[in-house]
Amino acid sequence: MLTVQAAVSGIAKGLDTHLKTLGFTPYVPPDLDKKSFPLVSDRDRHFVTFSGKNGSLRIEYCSDTVGLLYADASAENAADSEYTRLSLSLLELDGAAERDLNYVVEDFAETLASKFQNGQKPKQQKKIPAAVSKTAVKHGAYYDAASFGSRFTAVYPELREPYKQNIEEYGEFLPEEFFKLYGTPAVAATVKENNPLKMKKLFNLLNEIYDNGVNDVQSLIAVSILGSMYQDETLLANCVDYMDGDLCVTVIRVSKYLGSNGAKGARMRLENPPRYKPKKDKKTGGLLSQLMGGGGASPFG
């Protein structure tokens, strides 16, 4: 198990060249030993700050996540409230390995390269939603769609940028569009390849999120992602041995229903997700809840 200091210092070391190129150097608060790593701990927040001509940066660890933050003020003068998040990644210290730190370093390096183009200050960005951690789930929380999207990009790092662009465009995570355009095709390609290591990694995530996700997330997994393969029995057969019981039963039932004559409307909604609309106060359980009888008899009996 990594310590917080080992994790933050490891990420800082990995970003050292990128930070120096942009003119950022470690800032040591007056009350810290100048010879030690300048990690500041404030209750559940732990961070190191970097000062530069373009403001200040922070690498901050809190509640199983590590963020890269920016303030348009010097490190000496920037208040906590002035820091906005440029990027956020899950990092659960229990069981974390070098590859997990490398993933965060690569993500933050890409963020720095894109946000500080031509040496300019980064533009004000939409905040990336904080992901629900495993620790929070153990204490009764549930994974939401944004948390699922964040965890999904750990399995498919090439989709990190589309995930961020989705949030930037809509001001929140729009999962229907992200998974239709990027996530579901990536899953279908993995299932078609049927490589045991890749399949185990993918379904470890899907099983965990499905078991501990809100209704909309369960709908994404069982209907929009896995249910979309209802026309190809070979692809579904590849999944069976990797799905936990509840997910497996639901996906099989959804697939049978989507392939039936009475599912034309459901198939249309699956192929054409609703366009983005601003949030309103409404209750929704997603397409899975609708299929399970949200407006009539359940298709599953």
Distance CA 212, CA 131 (A): 13
pLDDT given for residue 299 in this prediction:
36
Beta pairing class for 65-71 and 84-90 = antiparallel
pLDDT given for residue 297 in this prediction:
37
Tokens matching residue 17: 């060249």
Tokens matching residue 164: 């961020």
DSSP 3-state assignment of 46? strand
In whole angstroms, how far apart are CA 16 and each of 19, 78, 107, 115, 164?
Answer: 5, 22, 14, 17, 24
pLDDT given for residue 265 in this prediction:
62
Residue where the block lists tokens 């589309």: 162
Q: Are residues 58 and 79 in contact, defined by beta-carbon separation less than 8 angstroms?
A: no
Tokens matching residue 80: 């906590």
Q: Which residues of the chain have pLDDT under 50?
A: 275-285, 292-301
Nearest to 56 by CA among 42, 44, 33, 40: 40
pLDDT given for residue 182 in this prediction:
94
pTM: 0.61
Burial class (CB in 10 A: 0-12, 13-18, 19+), 158: exposed
pLDDT given for residue 62 in this prediction:
86
Sign of the torsion formed by the C-alpha atoms of 205, 208, 213 and 215 = positive
